[in-house]
Amino acid sequence: MDLLPLIGDVDEFKEIMGIINKEMDLVSLSDENLRRVFMIFEIAGGVVNGRTKQVTEADAEQLWCSSVDGVVAVAKQVIDYACEMNFQDLDGPLKQAVVEILRSACNIVSKQRVFDSSLQGLLEELQVEVGSTMRERLVGGKLENLTKEQDTLPLSWPRNGRISLEWIQLLISTFKWSSWKDPKEFRNVMPVTVVKKLISAASKIMREERNCVKLRVREDSEVIVVGDILGQFHDLVALFEENAGFPSDHRYFVFNGNYVDKGSWGLEVLLVLLAWKVLMPHRVYLLRGNHETKNCTLAYGFWAELCTKFGKKDCKLVFDKCLECFRTLPLATIIAQGVYTTHGGLFRRTCSASTQCSTGEKRQKLDTLSLGSLREFAKVNRFLEDVPENDLLSDVLWSDPSSEAGLRENTKKFGLLWGPDCTEEFLKENHLKLIIRSHEGPDARTGADDARNMLNGYSKDHDTVSGELYTLFTAPNYPQVQILLGCTMHSRRFIF
C-alpha cells in the first residue's frame, strides 16, 4: 500500500526535518518532549527516504542516544577549547558570554552524567569578575540549595594552587550534598587527585611545626579549643556556621585530635580541617589524637569508610596518604603562655629509643614512673604510624586523669593515669594555669559522678593551687545512645 498520498507531500516532511534540525530549541525541552520530537523526526526521515518499515519507540530511542552522544561530544570540545584559552584580555561582557557558553556546555555534559574535573578549575578562574560563582549558575540556585535529584560537579584543585575561602565554602557545600547520597558517589565529586593534593599541602605545613606549638595571640583575639569530632561532619559544620564562626585574623582554632573513626564522615571532617589549615596556617592548629594512628583507623571504621567511598582501586592510596598526614600532626599547644592543650594528657619521663634524656645519661628503661618535662617532650619522634607501648608518645595520645594521686600505668593497653598532684606539678613547673585535654567521651565516664560524667560535653577533673584541668568532648549525641551536648572551650568561656 502506498502511504504517501495518505500522509502528504515528501517536501512537507523535509521541511519538518529542517525545522527540527535548525530552528527548534531542543535544550529547553523535557526528556519526554525530546523523545516525541525524535519520533517525529524519525517518521519524517522514513517518509523522505522511502522507508516502509514502521517506526517504533526503539528507533526513536536509538536516534535519541546517538544525538545526545553527538551533542555531548561537541560540548566536551567546547570545554576543552575553553580550557586552553587565555581570559586575561577579555572584557566583562565577553567574559560573561564565555560563561554562558560554558554553562550550556556543562549542562549538556552533566545531563548525561559525564563529568569533567578540569571544568571546575576553569570556572573558578572565570568567576572572580562575573559576579556569581559558576557553580551557582550551573545548578540554577544558591550554592547551599543543591537539590537531591541534581548531580553536582566534581571539585578540582585551584588552578593557581592556592586555596581560597570560596574554595573551602565550595568544599563544605559539596560534602553536605554528597553526605545525603550513597557513599559510593563520593568519588564522583571528590577526585583522588584533589584529595592527594590537599593532604600533601597541609602535611607540608604541619611537618615543619614543633611537637608543642606555641600560640602568641593578640589581646583582642579569641581562641576556640575543640575536642573529639569522630567523623561527625554535620556537627563540625554547625560549629562553624551556627556557633563559633569561621577562622579569621582574630579567631584561632585548636583541634585536640580524633577527627576520624566511628562516625560516617571522617574523611570529610579531615579534609575540611586540612583545607582551613592550608588557608590559615597560623590560625588553625590540628593536633593528633589516638584515632590518628594506623591500628585505630583499621579497627574503628576509617579504613572501611575509605573502601566504601573509593573502592578497591583507590582506597589504599587514600589511606596511605592519610597516614602520612597523621604522622605530621603536632601533639600539643601552649596558648598565650598559660593554657596547655593536648589530646590525651600528661606523660612519663622516659629514655626509650624515641627520645633522649634531658640530663644526658645513657638510654635505659626507668624502673619507676615520674612525670616528663616539656623539654623532653620537644625531642620525641612523633613521625610514626603507630605508637609504641609504655612510651611518651603513647602517653600523650592515650593517658587519662584520675581522682587518685600519683602516676601509674593505665588499665588500657596504652598511656597513664595521673592524679591531681601530677597536674599541680606540671602546671607549676611550666608556669601554666590551665590544661585542656580530650580523648574521653560519655561512654568512657559511665558511672562517674555528675561532675565527671561528660554528658554536657566537658568536665572539670582537677582543681589545684596552680590551676585547673578540663576534659573537652565536642561530638554531640555520641555514641548515639545518650543525650548530651558537645562542647568547645572559647577563651575562658564555654560554648554549648
Residue 440: predicted pLDDT: 87
Residues 102-133: pLDDT tens digits?
Answer: 666 666 555 443 333 444 444 444 443 333 33
Q: Go through 290-301 and write b for each residue having 16 or more CB atoms within 10 A of its CB, e for each that does not.
A: bbbbbebbeebb
Report residue 446 as a C-alpha cell.
Answer: 559511665
Residue 95 lies in a domain: no
3-class SS at 340? strand
Banded pLDDT at 206 (limits 50, 70, 90):
very high
Q: What is the CATH number of the domain that holds 479?
A: 3.60.21.10
User: What is the number of domains present in the chain?
Assistant: 1
Asked if residue 5 has pLDDT above 60, the reply is no
- 291 is a catalytic site residue: yes
Q: Who contacts 180 (Cβ-Cβ below 8 Å, separation ≥6)? A: 148
Residue 311 to residue 331: CA distance in whole angstroms: 32
Residue 236: predicted pLDDT: 95
Which of 234, 250, 282, 291 is the catalytic position? 291
Residue 1: predicted pLDDT: 38
Residue 134: predicted pLDDT: 35
Residue 374 lies in a domain: yes
DSSP H or E segment with residue 176? helix 165-179
In degrees rounded to 5, what are phi and psi of residue 468? -130, 160
Residue 355 lies in a domain: yes
Q: Looking at residue 287, what DSSP letter applies?
A: -
pTM for the model: 0.68
Report residue 54 as a C-alpha cell.
Answer: 514502521
Instruction: Give me the residue label for grid cell 504517501.
Output: 4
Residue 182 lies in a domain: no
Instruction: Give me the residue label for grid cell 593534593.
Output: 197
Asked if residue 310 has pLDDT above 90, the reply is yes
Residue 353: predicted pLDDT: 43
Structural domain including 491 reads 202-495
DSSP H or E segment with residue 354? none
Residue 456 to residue 462: CA distance in whole angstroms: 17
Residue 491: predicted pLDDT: 56
Q: Looking at residue 179, what DSSP letter applies?
A: H
In degrees rounded to 5, what are phi and psi of residue 493? -120, 150
Residues 29-79: pLDDT tens digits?
Answer: 565 666 666 666 666 666 666 655 555 555 555 555 555 555 666 666 666
Residue 60 lies in a domain: no
Asked if residue 482 has pLDDT above 50, the reply is no
More confident residue, 305 or 138: 305
Query: Mean pLDDT over residues 453-474, rounded?
Result: 88
More confident residue, 93 or 402: 402
Residue 368: predicted pLDDT: 82
Q: Peptide bond preceding 479: is omega within 30 degrees of 0, i.e. cis? A: yes
Residue 358: predicted pLDDT: 47
Residue 217 lies in a domain: yes
Residue 144: predicted pLDDT: 37
Q: Are 185 and 153 within 8 A, CB to CB? A: no
More confident residue, 317 or 75: 317
More confident residue, 220 or 398: 398
Residue 16: predicted pLDDT: 64
Residues 148-182: pLDDT tens digits?
Answer: 444 567 899 998 899 999 999 999 999 999 999 99
Residue 451 lies in a domain: yes
Residue 311 lies in a domain: yes
Q: Who contacts 44 (Cβ-Cβ below 8 Å, separation ≥6)? A: 13, 14, 16, 17, 20
Residues 345-382: pLDDT tens digits?
Answer: 999 997 644 444 544 444 444 568 999 999 999 999 99
Instruction: Return the percentage of the chain with pLDDT > 70, whole number.
Output: 59
Residue 153: predicted pLDDT: 77
Query: Mean pLDDT over residues 425-450, rounded?
Result: 84
